[in-house]
Every structure is written in structure tokens, then in C-alpha cells.
């Protein structure tokens, strides 16, 4: 497999023992793992070369009286290099609007985190609202809602067509996400516009991730 990025998103899953099982692959060059917050420093202690993404960050900066929140600055200090912002699950279950996502993107940039910014079929509106006043390069992840966790993937022609339209709006690296696994990953990584994949469910299975990294 080429050196396109493979980002595993564990969402609200995983455990200390699962992370231990993954220790041998944590420092693979093109692998980034998006962990639940408490596992971030833990993963660093298992393997200091691991590349970690946080799955979200606060709309507030630095430190302060915001019970339950974790800022982008803290995530940077704890060992994250990337942060996912605007995932469709955040938009759906936590009502994240454009102005919330915009604040998170700006905070993450100030904290010098690299951003993995997710859009869905509605990417035109999302980009317009979420990225107002942002002029830095960010990694985009195109994740059609119909493909997340469903096992139903769009055709490679569809992904090529949509990612071409996204690139016309925002010329940057684009990932594809939605039901990627070791059997279909090469189809998506074979698309010219696609610089990597964001993998949810399959990223919790060590054998799946190994074959995605070594194929
Ligand atoms: P999935 O999730 O691979 O389980 O479809 C992808 C994602 O939501 O990032």
C-alpha cells in the first residue's frame, strides 16, 4: 500500500488493553490514531513515536472554569498532534453548528494542532459556515453520512466527483471515510484525489489495521 494516510478513529471505544495490543504498530509512518482523551498520554507512554489525533476539542481556549471541557492547548500538551473537528457524529448528537466548529478550528490552529476537518454530502454549506475567516491549510475528510458505520460505500467514481468539487473550493489533502476496511481500502486509496482514509469500526481490529498498513 502507498504511504497515503490511514487514520483510525476509535470514537467512544477502545481500552487500555486494546491499546497495548496495538503497541507494535503505533509508530507506523502513515498511521494516526484518534483516541479517547485519557488514552492520549497513555499511548505516548507506550510508544513515544505514535501520531495521535484527539477526536474533538473545546470551544474555549487555554485553561478555565469550564467543567468537563478539554482545550486544544491541553491536547497539544498531552501529546496530540492532530484533532478531528466537525465529525458528523458531533454535528448530529451534540448539535455542533458552524459557529461552534469555527471556534474549534481557530482554537486548534492557535494551539498548533493539525486539523482533520470532516464534511459530508452537504460540504458546500459546511465549508462556507465552518471555515469563515480560516485561511490555513487543513486536512479535509469527506465522509458521506450514508456510509458511516453502515457497510454501504459510495462508488469510487462518486468519491472522485465529490472530492474534485471539494478541491475546487478548498485545495488541500482529502481523506475518504465511511465503512472503510481491509477489503475496500485499496479502492479508495486508488482514487487520484484521495490522500488517505478515516477508518472507524475497522480500526478497532488489529488484524484489519495491520493488513491496511501492510498490503
Ligand atoms: P466507519 O466510521 O469506518 O465505522 O464507517 C468512519 C468515521 O466515522 O470516521
Per-residue pLDDT of 12-25, as tens digits, reads: 999 999 999 999 99
199 lines ligand 1 (CB under 6 A): yes
144 lines ligand 1 (CB under 6 A): no
pLDDT in tens, 70-86: 999 999 999 999 999 99
Q: How far is CA 89 from CA 107, 144, 176, 186, in A?
A: 20, 12, 16, 25
Residues 6+ apart with CB under 8 A from 125: none
pLDDT of 215: 59
Structural domain span for residue 208? 5-214
Distance in Å, CA 171 to ligand 1 centroid:
23
CATH number for the domain harbouring residue 56: 3.20.20.70
2 pLDDT above the threshold of 80: no
102 lines ligand 1 (CB under 6 A): no
94 pLDDT above the threshold of 80: yes
Count other C-beta atoms under 10 Å from residue 81's C-beta: 15
pLDDT of 1: 44
CA–CA gap between residue 120 and residue 136 (Å, rounded): 20
Across the range 169-183, mean pLDDT stands at: 97
Task: Report the atom number in ligand 1 closest to the C-alpha of 147.
Answer: 5
The residues that are catalytic are 87, 143
Ligand 1 pocket: which of 34, 117, 178 to mutate (most atoms within 8 A of CB): 178
Sorting pLDDT into bands at 50, 70 and 90, what band is 7? Answer: very high
Threshold 0.85, pTM exceeds: yes
pLDDT of 3: 81
Where do runs of H (alpha helix) occur along 170-205? 185-189
Ligand 1 pocket: which of 13, 143, 182 to mutate (most atoms within 8 A of CB): 143
Nearest to 123 by CA among 91, 83, 81, 100: 91
180 lines ligand 1 (CB under 6 A): yes
**How many domains does the chain divide into?**
1
Across the range 39-52, mean pLDDT stands at: 96
Query: Phi/psi class of residue 178: alpha, beta or left (left: φ > 0; alpha: ψ in -120 to 50)?
Result: left
Amino acid at each position: 500500500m502507498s504511504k497515503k494516510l490511514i487514520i483510525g478513529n476509535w470514537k467512544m471505544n477502545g481500552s487500555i488493553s486494546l491499546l497495548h495490543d496495538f503497541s507494535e504498530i503505533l509508530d507506523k509512518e502513515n498511521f494516526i490514531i484518534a483516541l479517547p482523551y485519557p488514552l492520549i498520554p497513555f499511548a505516548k507512554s507506550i510508544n513515544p513515536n505514535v501520531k495521535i489525533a484527539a477526536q474533538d476539542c473545546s470551544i474555549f481556549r487555554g485553561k478555565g472554569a469550564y467543567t468537563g471541557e478539554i482545550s486544544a492547548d491541553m491536547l497539544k500538551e498531552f501529546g496530540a498532534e492532530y484533532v478531528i473537528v466537525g465529525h458528523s457524529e458531533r454535528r448530529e448528537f451534540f448539535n455542533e453548528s458552524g459557529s461552534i466548529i469555527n471556534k474549534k478550528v481557530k482554537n486548534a490552529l492557535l494551539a498548533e494542532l493539525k486539523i482533520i476537518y470532516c464534511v459530508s454530502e452537504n460540504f458546500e454549506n459546511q465549508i462556507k459556515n465552518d471555515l469563515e475567516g480560516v485561511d490555513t491549510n487543513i486536512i479535509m475528510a469527506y465522509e458521506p453520512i450514508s456510509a458511516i458505520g453502515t457497510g454501504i460505500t459510495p462508488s469510487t467514481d462518486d468519491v472522485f466527483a465529490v472530492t474534485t468539487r471539494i478541491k475546487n473550493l478548498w485545495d488541500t489533502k482529502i481523506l475518504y471515510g465511511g465503512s472503510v476496511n481491509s477489503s475496500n481500502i485499496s479502492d479508495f486509496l486508488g482514487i487520484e484525489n484521495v490522500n488517505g482514509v478515516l477508518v472507524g469500526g475497522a480500526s478497532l481490529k488489529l488484524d484489519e489495521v495491520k493488513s491496511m498498513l501492510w498490503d
